[in-house]
């Protein structure tokens, strides 16, 4: 079987020694502060050694197939030539969300480890079970993004989450998690981030090429668990599931590179100025069943009371209207389809909401599960 508490402690000790830290860091330091690491040598990751200036493709055993074969998730490594932060990119937690997979692949193919300061870790497909079946979920219908940080004796989702969190995420000084809209919905390219937390807000703004939406990471999400473990993490949400979309992928690559420049991992131009920010967003739900057809487009600005779409009863031909309860912008929406009352059709970024005050994060140690985020409390 995999780890025990003792082994987990030993992993942490080995990690601290290999990275030259005197003790576990709090939030990753701001770019102005020199990195504490005084040595920079080969690193041991997932049983293999990676030397400075090298790239590697490692395998993390996260699960088994029904037939008992090992299910190994690829982990891409770019070990920089000089010291710096460890920055992580995770995609495919939902197996049908493809844009992020291509963002991570592009980044790790294009970046030369010789030009990197620090180390980049990439997980292009976190949910291989779902990816193989073109499904958001695991084979038991659990959502992997409700299972972090996971437990090695928990559900299938919890075990996969635990393997990823312990072997990869706990090493990260900062992280981007890549998603798309779910189930016939599409999103304006946007960064979701807990803007109450300074380091997280800085990452969100450094991305530079996507709308920023304040959203606290939900229980069991990778972002929520990572921030609770004091790893600044943002989510890039762009486009639709089940598709590779050129513009959303290109924007994801550009924004991720901006974050790498901001964190000192790559040389380059400072990212553009702050992007449009919404401190509150909400879904507009429909009150009738029938054929849903939007009358606005993704990204449209809307006024209070503007028509967003119609629902037509295909038996009686009665038509009802869906109007915006807020002034703002359509940052996500459902594609045309048949719906029932309560269906979430339009995600509106609401204008005129004040910035939330900063709050201190829970005082957990890096990599240790937060008592607030026990995934077993949030089944499914």
Backbone angles phi, psi at 334, to 5 degrees: -80, 150
Stretch that binds Zn ion, among 22-30, 88-96, 340-348, 370-378 (CB under 5 A): 88-96
Closest CB to Zn ion among residues 94, 214: 94
Stretch that binds Zn ion, among 53-61, 86-94, 148-156, 317-325 (CB under 5 A): 86-94
Closest CB to Zn ion among residues 94, 329: 94
Q: What is the distance, to the nearest Å, from the Cα of residue 273 to the centroid of all Cα atoms in its chain?
A: 22
Closest CB to Zn ion among residues 97, 288: 97
Q: Is 94 in the site for Zn ion (CB under 5 A)?
A: yes
* Distance of closest approach, residue 127 Cβ to Zn ion, in angstroms: 9
Size of the site for Zn ion (CB under 5 A): 3
Dihedral of CA 130/120/77/158: which sign?
Answer: negative
Q: What is the dihedral of CA 161, 148, 17, 112, to 10 degrees?
A: 70
* Distance of closest approach, residue 26 Cβ to Zn ion, in angstroms: 28
Interatomic CA distance for residues 251 and 256, integer angstroms: 8
* Distance of closest approach, residue 97 Cβ to Zn ion, in angstroms: 5
Contact predicate 329/277, CB 8 Å: no
* Distance of closest approach, residue 259 Cβ to Zn ion, in angstroms: 19
* Distance of closest approach, residue 94 Cβ to Zn ion, in angstroms: 4
Angle, vertex CA 76, rays to CA 72 and CA 77, nearest 5:
130
Residue nearest Zn ion, CB atom distance: 179
Interatomic CA distance for residues 58 and 191, integer angstroms: 28
Q: According to CB under 5 A, which residues from 172 to 231 bind Zn ion? A: 179
* Distance of closest approach, residue 222 Cβ to Zn ion, in angstroms: 10
Stretch that binds Zn ion, among 91-99, 105-113, 254-262, 344-352 (CB under 5 A): 91-99
**Of residues 88, 62, 59, 72, the one with CA closest to residue 157:** 62
Backbone angles phi, psi at 14, to 5 degrees: -60, -40
Closest CB to Zn ion among residues 179, 192: 179
Contact predicate 92/101, CB 8 Å: yes
> Which residues are at the interface with Zn ion (CB under 5 A)?
94, 97, 179
């Amino acid at each position: 079987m995999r780890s025990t508490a003792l082994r987990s402690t030993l992993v942490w000790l080995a990690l601290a020694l290999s990275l030259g830290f005197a003790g576990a860091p709090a939030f990753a330091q701001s770019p102005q502060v020199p990195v504490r690491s005084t040595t920079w040598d080969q690193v041991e990751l997932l049983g293999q050694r990676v030397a400075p200036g090298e790239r590697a493709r490692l395998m993390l055993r996260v699960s088994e197939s029904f037939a008992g074969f090992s299910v190994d998730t690829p982990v891409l490594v770019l070990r920089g030539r000089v010291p710096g932060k460890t920055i992580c990119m995770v995609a495919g937690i939902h197996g049908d969300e493809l844009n992020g997979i291509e963002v991570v692949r592009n980044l790790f193919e294009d970046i030369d480890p010789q030009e990197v300061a620090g180390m980049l870790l990439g997980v292009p497909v976190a949910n291989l079970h779902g990816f193989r079946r073109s499904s958001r979920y695991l084979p038991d219908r659990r959502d992997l993004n409700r299972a972090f940080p996971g437990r090695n004796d928990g559900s299938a989702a919890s075990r996969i989450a635990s393997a990823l969190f312990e072997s990869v995420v706990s090493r990260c000084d900062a992280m981007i998690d890549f998603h798309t809209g779910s189930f016939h919905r599409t999103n304006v390219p946007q960064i979701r981030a807990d803007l109450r937390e300074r380091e997280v807000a800085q990452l969100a703004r450094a991305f530079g090429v996507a709308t920023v939406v304040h959203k606290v990471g939900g229980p069991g999400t990778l972002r929520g668990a990572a921030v609770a473990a004091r790893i600044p993490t943002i989510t890039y949400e762009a486009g639709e599931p089940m598709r590779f979309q050129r513009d959303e992928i290109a924007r994801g690559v550009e924004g991720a590179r901006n974050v790498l420049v901001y964190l000192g991992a790559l040389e380059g131009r400072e990212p553009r100025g702050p992007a449009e920010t919404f401190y509150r967003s909400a879904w507009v739900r429909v009150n009738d069943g029938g054929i849903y057809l939007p009358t606005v487009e993704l990204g449209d600005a809307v006024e209070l009371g503007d028509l967003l779409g119609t629902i037509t009863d295909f038996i009686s031909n009665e038509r009802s209207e869906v109007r915006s309860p807020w002034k703002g912008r359509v940052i996500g929406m459902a594609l045309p389809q048949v719906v029932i009352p309560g269906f979430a059709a339009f995600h509106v970024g609401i204008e005129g909401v004040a910035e939330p005050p900063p709050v201190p994060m829970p005082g957990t140690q890096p990599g240790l599960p937060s008592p607030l985020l026990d995934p077993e409390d949030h089944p499914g």
